[in-house]
């Protein structure tokens, strides 16, 4: 029987789980490490899920109407997902994007017809970022109150406070993991950016089995800008949720859902991403490398022998070819 899809919206989700067996053998891991390959989404990242969910939620609520422009702030992947959804649904799209993201992200958004504006190019946002030491949450508030409030016929997605963000992971990502493992999952590992993935997926898995351990990843100290190191190698899209003022934590991050915080440095993420490309033939991004690194260290703990660890790999390595991730001259 023929099976022909009519829109990319029908292709979002149902991404596969892969056991990285060669990598497990190399590290002599006694736990099973399964990775959820979110680059199987139509625009190659986990953010396709929330892009579609937030747009369709807004349409149902009458917040997004024909002729409107969709607007968002992002480190890249949400912008790409939204640009594609906007294109297929006939909306204009504008994104305020973090300055340090790879050039591939800008190129892809432009290919879908989207408009990109660097955060530093919008005076109101640049001022807040400078005054707060790079507080992304404060920057979004400034954008909403000082810039977008003066415009008409726009829908500001606001992924860091939009409840449709974690909700879609509770209704899709979590159930997919549970079904594909037949409920045999002991530990779930995910990065924290907006917190939507770990919060929504974690809620679903905990509801099915309260004994499942949820591990949330944040950048290590050396991967965050500081006075001593203002431009470090960073894990794009991954932000701290502990050790920062609570107002800097996105509303979409459930601070009660996780059992352990795990810190990963960018160079550790690079090393893991480079290695798994050579052992198992998957080309992944920096945050995916961070997830594999964290899962590896957790798998090495004696108490986790024989357990099943599931880690979400947010995106493809193809968006990082202009960065140091796969730059062989950059030693890790």
Catalytic residue among 47, 206, 213, 307: 47
Q: Rounded distance, CA 327 to CA 219, Å? A: 21
Catalytic residue among 45, 287, 288, 307: 287
Q: Rounded distance, CA 79 to CA 116, Å? A: 9
Two tokens, residue 225:
């800008």
Which one, of 132, 127, 134, 103, lies nearest residue 232 by Cα? 134
| Spatial contact of 208 and 201, defined as CB atoms under 8 Å apart | no
Tokens 């944040």, residue located: 218
Cα dihedral across residues 64, 66, 68, 71: positive or negative: positive
Which one, of 27, 306, 36, lies nearest residue 189 by Cα? 36
Which one, of 194, 218, 190, 193, lies nearest residue 295 by Cα? 190
Whether 261 is catalytic is no
Cα dihedral across residues 2, 172, 33, 266: positive or negative: positive
Whether 47 is catalytic is yes
Positions marked catalytic: 47, 287
């Amino acid at each position: 029987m023929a099976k022909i899809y009519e829109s990319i919206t029908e292709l979002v989700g149902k991404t596969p789980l892969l056991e990285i067996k060669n990598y497990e053998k190399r590290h002599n891991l006694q736990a099973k490490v399964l990775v959820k390959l979110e680059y199987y989404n139509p625009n190659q990242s986990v953010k396709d899920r929330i892009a579609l969910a937030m747009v369709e939620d807004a349409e149902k609520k009458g917040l997004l109407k024909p002729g409107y422009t969709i607007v968002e702030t992002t480190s890249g992947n949400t912008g790409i997902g939204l640009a594609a959804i906007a294109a297929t649904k006939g909306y204009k799209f504008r994104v305020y994007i973090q300055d340090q993201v790879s050039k591939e992200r800008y190129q892809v958004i432009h290919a879908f017809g989207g408009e990109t504006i660097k955060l530093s190019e919008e005076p109101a946002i640049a001022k807040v970022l400078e005054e707060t030491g790079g507080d992304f949450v404060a920057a979004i508030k400034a954008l909403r109150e000082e810039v977008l409030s003066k415009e008409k016929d726009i829908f500001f997605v606001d992924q860091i406070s939009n409840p449709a963000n974690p909700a879609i992971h509770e209704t899709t990502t979590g159930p997919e993991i549970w079904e594909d493992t037949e409920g045999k999952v002991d530990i779930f590992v995910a990065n924290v950016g907006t917190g939507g993935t770990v919060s929504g997926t974690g809620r679903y898995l905990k509801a099915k089995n309260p004994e499942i351990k949820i591990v949330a990843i944040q950048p290590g100290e050396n991967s965050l800008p500081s006075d001593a190191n203002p431009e470090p190698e960073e894990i794009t899209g991954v932000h701290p949720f502990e050790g920062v003022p609570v107002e800097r934590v996105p509303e979409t991050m459930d601070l009660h859902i996780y059992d352990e915080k795990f810190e990963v440095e960018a160079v550790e993420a690079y090393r893991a991403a480079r290695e798994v490309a050579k052992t198992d033939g998957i080309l992944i991004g920096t945050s995916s490398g961070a997830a594999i690194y964290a899962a590896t260290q957790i798998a090495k703990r004696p108490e986790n022998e024989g357990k099943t660890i599931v880690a979400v790999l947010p995106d493809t390595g193809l968006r990082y070819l202009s960065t140091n991730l796969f730059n062989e001259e950059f030693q890790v």
